Structure 1
Amino acid sequence: MSEDEKKNTCCSDHHHGHSDMKLLPVIGNEETAAARAISMDHFSEAAVYRIIGMDCSSCAKSLEKHMRSIKAVQEVSVNFSTGKMQIVQEGLSDEAIVSEVAKAGYAASPLSKGKTNKAEQKDGVGTKLAVISGILLALGFLGSFTSVPEGILIVCYALSMIIGGYRPARSAFYAIKSGSLDMNVLMSVAAIGAAMIGEWLEGATVVWLFAIGNWLQTNSIEKTRDSIRTLMDLAPAEAWVKQGVSMARVSVEDVRIGDIMVVKPGEKVPLDGEVLSGISSVNQAPITGESIPVDKLAGDFVFAGSVNESGSLEVKVTRLVEDTAIAKIIHLVEEAQEKKAPTQAFVDKFAAWYTPIVLVLALLVIVFPPLLGWGTWGDWFYKGLELLVVACPCALVISTPVAIVSAIGNAARNGVLIKGGAFLEKAGAITAIAFDKTGTLTEGKPQVSRIVAPFGKEDEVLAIARTIEEHSRHPIAQAILTYADGKKVASLAGKDFRVLVGKGAEATVEGQTYYAGKPGLFAEQGISLAAWADQIESLQKEGNTIVLIGNARSVLGLIAVADTIRDISVSAIGGLKAAGVDEIVMLTGDNEGTAAKVAKQTGVSRYFAELLPEDKVAAIQKLQQEGKSVAMVGDGINDAPALATADLGIAMGGAGTDTAMETADIVLMADNLEKLPHTVNISRKALRIIQQNIWFSIIVKLAALILIFPGWLTLWLAVLSDTGAALIVILNSMRLLRMKS
């Protein structure tokens, strides 16, 4: 996240008596392919097409330029990472657009509501041409060991080049026409040049290796894109909907909000909704990443794509098919894949300069040495062709995006939504993670553990406390109300309710002003706490939060409230330490004793206690001033300022919170920390793989360049080094898809 692009998400550690804080607006300015063309607002009505055959970002740029050259096309954006083209045009049919895409050398198929079928993803023509080209090349090569006339061998090689190189040559033509310089142009020039100097075997080998390399790269990249597309198949296409006393099988597109679905045992939930009747265990791992099924009963929420394992459920539909949690996940993840990470942006800029520079060098190599009498024209022309092939920066250009797509896809399948490559890189570089205590490390549902008041005055103290707290939604206030309900203690007549942010609350009860809040609130007003000091200290050491009840003259009593640690917090923090996070920090508005106890129980290495909301921002800034890259974790409700200040904002419970899903940099779909270590691990592994890919690509290019001039590198070896390096980079990146949580 750049300095001028802080996303404001929200989290929770509550200061007793605060009012609910509003979420700040979120503005993202990350560069995307669409943003380069035009504001995404212009694409609201765009048609979307799946593009097959793109194996590096230069392909996307060439196709984009070609489509822009068509008069009927108003705006177009082609994204390599997702394999999609968005287009705004007038008067062109789907067939015409598919035909224009084919001219540039790629296959296209229209998408509807984000769905596609597997048949559309296969490019059978390219496969057949590569096979036929290989057969002709093999026939020519084997014929060279027999008495077959050389003319026939040349015909075999020429046919192999024409058949295998037809599509790259056509793509090269349209790339040059639209002002692009991509690998199709470089490879076509190299193959034609080889034929011109009589190196027919070399030329045919170049074309065939290029075709095979493209086929392997395209298929491998499609597998990484499928890591997200498979999410689309999780939700069923039809639902059982109640119509009076009977049920009908209805397409999910035709189901309306408020309709009643029946989900039978073993079936997937078709749409998001609220359980009206029935009790069942539901496996919602595809959405939240939780490995254990969750019990559902009336009033609970179920997600489309989750599996109903036992009982039958009647569910009232609350979201249309395009608005379900899984639809939003797919949409946001595909958006995330389009956002360039800083490393990718740098590599793209480097490649944009690298290719033309090497092309100019190739021309200089062809012309100047023979003019200076340093060799024959044929030798230097051959070296120049080799340099052209080496000029293709394919492996370098795809070193970052394929790794990012793989990592984001893996995370999404494990219930973690990473909103872009920049945030993936940030997560991999995090050295400190700050947690809110309440609702994040703890359950966020505190309970009253004790009331201390003069003999016979407990109910009176509780009644005053209930009266003051009835207008607060704070968890501690809710704990007091719940306890009062259990004791059947009613509230009194109150008015002039006021929140004292970070300190407590006050109200006028039966004509007198009363306060409920922290000990500091009473100390500020000069009220002596000497009679209560020992009890306050003792209860705080036991991990209780203290709420004092009193008026302007004295303290009437105190209520001790305690929260429980989440079961998953200890293992999650252990996992983060194992992943190499240097410092685990807890931020809380609670007292020192409570903070120390929770810190000890959870294993956090450092804590800041008795913080007001603005103090939490200062705590984050303090960590940053110490040289740490800080992530802030919360539950998507409060503390937006602290999250905006942190380098990375992580929200919990995003599956049920639209705002958290839209605003956080990273979203844990389940309401627990179970997947946080996996998020850090996959981010760090992605960074390592990106570095490996970049260094490998550069070393292979340098080695190929060095081997050209002694004459040790042949043209077909140059092609093999280029396509082979690209394929190795892709396969290395795909390891991220298989990384287990």
Structure 2
Amino acid sequence: MEVIITDDKEETNEHMHSSQEKTELYFAMLCGIFLVIGFLIQKFTNFNNTFFLSSYIFSYFFGGYFITIDAYKKIIKGGFDIDFLMIAAAAGAFYIDKWAEGSLLLFLFSLGHALEHFAMNKAKKSIEALSTLSPKTALIKRNEILEEILITDLKINDIIVVKPNTKIAADGVIIRGRSSINQAPITGESIPVDKFFIESTFNLPAFKDIDKNHVVFTGTINGDSSIEVLVLKLSKDSTVSRLIKMVSEVETQKSPTQRVTKTFEKWYVPIVILVVFLLCFAYVFVDESFNQSLYRAITVLVAASPCALAISTPSAVLSGIARAAQKGVLIKGGKALEDLGEITTIAFDKTGTLTEGKPKLTHVIPLNNCDEKAFVELVLEVENLSNHPLAKAIVNDIKIKYQIKAKNKASKVNAIQGKGMSAVYNNEVVLIGNTKLIEDSGITINDIVKSKMESLLKHGHTVMIVAYKSEILGLISVMDIPRKTAAGTLKHLKSIGIKHMVMLTGDHQNVGNAIAKQIGLTGVKGNLLPEDKVTEIKKLIKRDKKIAMVGDGVNDAPAMALSTVSVAMGAAGSDVALETADIALMSDKIENLPFVIGLSRASKRIIKQNIWISLGVVVLLVPVTVLGLTNIGLAVLFHEGSTIVVVINALRLLRFNLNN
């Protein structure tokens, strides 16, 4: 499906597809009506044969119309599929004057065909419904004047006004106002997320790197307050457009089971044709007429046709992918869906995956009788002069925790590479950094300070000493803390059969160990460069055959590419994550991972059930029909019944919940 959200051609194609689906069902019903009319005339009247024969011919026309078209499309490409087998069976029945049986065959097969398409399209429409997310127009602000335009006419850096309780028309950043945004259509989050304006749009980073508190996506729904949004992506490049396009393309990516069944059908159908052809001449060896042998062959042809097998896997795959899309998860094809269901080992990136991805001030420890308030004021003044990420985290957390603001009392800040920083505060030198910085300045670090530092370092904290007037005033520590939901998620994963959960991180081993202990990981590897992570993935694959790796889809691309299934978190807004990952969680909520794995396992389970049902019916019917113990009518009922059963079984995935 070519996706340009406001494209009229797309809507026309969808309408035509829906119209054909209805026509196919109407033709099947007309086939049945003419079958009944013909049967009643033949059995209960003395009319000329022309009357009931004409009715059967009409029945054949309506029942065989779409089947013949589908069969022809395959034949001209050199393939013989199930539709061809059904047409051949109906033609054979007509040849031996079994018009009613032939019409019944076409009626039930065309009805099954129509219902199958209806059921499959139900799953497809769950995906295509995404295309209705985006509004058609946007309210643009130019020279303080509001104007309504098509979203296709929006340009980068346009400013759009989003009124309360309306859909957001473009991916961008809020520059005025604050509101609660319902992101469920994109990320699957059930609770609206508070968003507010960015203080400055000067020198903005890449869209994916902007703080999520300021970013909004096309198709999400504004809350009760009006906001203004700076457009950063065109409609064709928006997150929702890319999501729709990729989900719509997943049908081309066959699952392992689909490939096996396709290969099976490729050899099976010609064998069935050969066997049926030979059965036509059974009268040479057994005491029966040619017509009886032909009737038996036609019945076997119906019984042996693997209709249910052909639809069993794609219906389940499509339903599973559609259900995932409803929950804000993009699964790229049947292979990723099936493979994830077999995983028992998961490797996690640390930063932004198991942790918040932002350092937090964890400890403020005044020493030598230093007043805590005076201590944090000094730290705030000095760190406020630095642009280092750790300094920004310290400043932000001190402001929030202690409710104080910087008064610009410090000056002459100097970053000392690999050690820390120095500054002047009240005409005296302040040092904030590691032990090397302090010792190089001639200040002695006593055993009490060393003991407190070692304790914090052991638990994964980054510790800095604060010295003023050549005296140690205290310690501060920061740490990238675990996500609040990480421990519960890992526990949930363990309960559904994930045996090994390993964290791969470039941070110090102590940091990794501390995080692992808090959240319940089974293993951790620290001090890893990107190439080291690839080596670790290879080791895990050698041990466990199949593994999944969960990360942001960007920083650990080589390791994720090597894993059996790569899962990117927080993919909304990240083009790289959407392109590279096999599975993309549109929100950055790690708690969605158990749902995806549960869905994959349910999909694989239903695929197996469908295959057993479809093959079971064939194995049961073929011997019975070869021995002539049943007629075409019963064979068709069982045959088409199994097709409907596997489709309905697959559609159960559209209602999947992990607690099922």
Q: What TM-score range do you get, normalising by the shorter chain?
A: 0.7 to 0.9
Pick the aligned partner of 1:386 from 278, 299, 303: 299
2:39 matches 1:122? no
Q: TM-score, normalised on structure 2?
A: 0.82
Q: Partner amino acid for 2:40?
A: L
Which range moved further: 661-670 or 152-161? 152-161
Alignment of 1:155-166 (within 5 A): 155-166=54-65
Could you tell me how far apart the structure 2 residues matched to 1:241 and 1:184 are? 53
2:201 matches 1:304? no
Report the equivalent of 2:477: 560
Q: Partner amino acid for 2:231?
A: V
Pick the aligned partner of 1:314 from 200, 214, 228: 228
Q: Partner amino acid for 1:240?
A: L
Structure 2: state its 5+ residue gaps.
199-213, 400-404, 424-430
Contact 1:280/1:297, CA 8 A, preserved across alignment = yes
Alignment of 1:11-410 (within 5 A): 112=9, 117-118=14-15, 120-123=17-20, 124-149=22-47, 151=49, 152-173=51-72, 175-299=74-198, 300-367=214-281, 369-410=282-323
> Residues 408 and 445 of structure 1: is their aligned pair in 2 closer, same or farther, counting only changes over 3 Å?
same
> Residues 667 and 114 of structure 1: is their aligned pair in 2 closer, same or farther, counting only changes over 3 Å?
farther
Alignment of 1:592-607 (within 5 A): 594-607=511-524
Could you tell me how far apart the structure 1 residues matched to 2:435 and 2:556 are? 20
The DSSP-based 3-state class of the residue aligned with 1:560 is strand
Q: Partner amino acid for 1:121?
A: S
Pick the aligned partner of 1:415 from 328, 334, 344: 328
Deviation, 1:349, is 1.1
Deviation, 1:688, is 0.6
> Residues 446 and 170 of structure 1: is their aligned pair in 2 closer, same or farther, counting only changes over 3 Å?
closer
Could you tell me how far apart the structure 2 residues matched to 1:637 and 1:477 are? 25
Deviation, 1:651, is 1.4
> Residues 423 and 174 of structure 1: is their aligned pair in 2 closer, same or farther, counting only changes over 3 Å?
closer
C-alpha offsets along residues 549-589 of structure 1, whole Å, 9 cap, x if unaligned?
Answer: 99xxxx99975223333222233223322322122223345
Could you tell me how far apart the structure 1 residues matched to 2:597 and 2:340 are? 6
Deviation, 1:329, is 0.3
C-alpha offsets along residues 526-554 of structure 1, whole Å, 9 cap, x if unaligned?
Answer: x999886522332235552346899xxxx
Deviation, 1:231, is 0.4
> Residues 117 and 201 of structure 1: is their aligned pair in 2 closer, same or farther, counting only changes over 3 Å?
closer
Contact 1:287/1:305, CA 8 A, preserved across alignment = yes
Contact 1:137/1:157, CA 8 A, preserved across alignment = yes
**Which structure dedicates a bigger proportion of its chain to helix?**
2
> Residues 667 and 548 of structure 1: is their aligned pair in 2 closer, same or farther, counting only changes over 3 Å?
farther
Deviation, 1:303, is 1.0
Contact 2:432/2:464, CA 8 A, preserved across alignment = no
Deviation, 1:174, is 5.4
Contact 1:175/1:182, CA 8 A, preserved across alignment = yes
The DSSP-based 3-state class of the residue aligned with 1:185 is helix
Report the equivalent of 1:16: none
Contact 2:345/2:544, CA 8 A, preserved across alignment = no
Q: TM-score, normalised on structure 1?
A: 0.74
> Residues 424 and 530 of structure 1: is their aligned pair in 2 closer, same or farther, counting only changes over 3 Å?
farther
The DSSP-based 3-state class of the residue aligned with 1:311 is coil
Could you tell me how far apart the structure 2 residues matched to 1:616 and 1:518 are? 30
Deviation, 1:304, is 1.1
Deviation, 1:420, is 2.0
Alignment of 1:519-534 (within 5 A): 533-534=450-451
Contact 1:435/1:585, CA 8 A, preserved across alignment = yes
2:591 matches 1:693? no
Q: Partner amino acid for 1:568?
A: T
> Residues 618 and 529 of structure 1: is their aligned pair in 2 closer, same or farther, counting only changes over 3 Å?
farther
C-alpha offsets along residues 329-370 of structure 1, whole Å, 9 cap, x if unaligned?
Answer: 001112223211122112111111110111111111112x22
> Residues 181 and 642 of structure 1: is their aligned pair in 2 closer, same or farther, counting only changes over 3 Å?
closer
Deviation, 1:224, is 1.1
Contact 1:417/1:669, CA 8 A, preserved across alignment = yes
The DSSP-based 3-state class of the residue aligned with 1:262 is strand
Q: In the comparison of the two structures, how many residue pairs are matched?
A: 610
C-alpha offsets along residues 98-140 of structure 1, whole Å, 9 cap, x if unaligned?
Answer: xxxxxxxxxxxx9736775546512243333222221121123
Contact 2:136/2:150, CA 8 A, preserved across alignment = yes
> Residues 148 and 266 of structure 1: is their aligned pair in 2 closer, same or farther, counting only changes over 3 Å?
farther
Deviation, 1:452, is 7.9
Deviation, 1:613, is 4.5
Could you tell me how far apart the structure 1 residues matched to 2:70 and 2:561 are? 46
Which range moved further: 127-136 or 619-628? 619-628
Report the equivalent of 2:402: none
C-alpha offsets along residues 315-340 of structure 1, whole Å, 9 cap, x if unaligned?
Answer: 22222221111001001112223211
Contact 2:171/2:232, CA 8 A, preserved across alignment = yes
Q: Partner amino acid for 2:115?
A: L
> Residues 238 and 493 of structure 1: is their aligned pair in 2 closer, same or farther, counting only changes over 3 Å?
closer
Contact 2:459/2:513, CA 8 A, preserved across alignment = no
> Residues 237 and 388 of structure 1: is their aligned pair in 2 closer, same or farther, counting only changes over 3 Å?
same
Alignment of 1:538-557 (within 5 A): 538-541=455-458, 543-546=460-463
Structure 1: state its 5+ residue gaps.
1-46, 50-109, 498-504
2:637 matches 1:720? yes
Contact 1:48/1:111, CA 8 A, preserved across alignment = no
Could you tell me how far apart the structure 2 residues matched to 1:301 and 1:254 are? 21
Pick the aligned partner of 2:343 from 414, 430, 438: 430
Could you tell me how far apart the structure 1 residues matched to 2:144 and 2:387 are? 44
Report the equivalent of 1:642: 559
Q: Partner amino acid for 2:487?
A: V
Deviation, 1:701, is 1.2
Deviation, 1:462, is 7.5
Could you tell me how far apart the structure 2 residues matched to 1:701 and 1:561 are? 66
Deviation, 1:377, is 1.7
Pick the aligned partner of 2:583 from 666, 669, 686: 666
Deviation, 1:595, is 4.0
Could you tell me how far apart the structure 2 residues matched to 1:668 and 1:717 are? 47
The DSSP-based 3-state class of the residue aligned with 2:341 is helix
Q: Partner amino acid for 1:122?
A: S
The DSSP-based 3-state class of the residue aligned with 1:308 is coil
The DSSP-based 3-state class of the residue aligned with 2:339 is helix
Could you tell me how far apart the structure 1 residues matched to 2:421 and 2:555 are? 28
Deviation, 1:712, is 2.0
The DSSP-based 3-state class of the residue aligned with 1:180 is coil
Higher relative contact order (CA 8 A, sep 6+): 1
2:516 matches 1:576? no
Deviation, 1:197, is 1.0
Report the equivalent of 2:203: none
Contact 1:337/1:420, CA 8 A, preserved across alignment = yes
Report the equivalent of 1:15: none
Identity of aligned residues (%): 38
Contact 1:545/1:590, CA 8 A, preserved across alignment = no
Contact 1:240/1:261, CA 8 A, preserved across alignment = yes
Could you tell me how far apart the structure 1 residues matched to 2:433 and 2:558 are? 26
The DSSP-based 3-state class of the residue aligned with 1:674 is helix
C-alpha offsets along residues 9-56 of structure 1, whole Å, 9 cap, x if unaligned?
Answer: xxxxxxxxxxxxxxxxxxxxxxxxxxxxxxxxxxxxxx969xxxxxxx
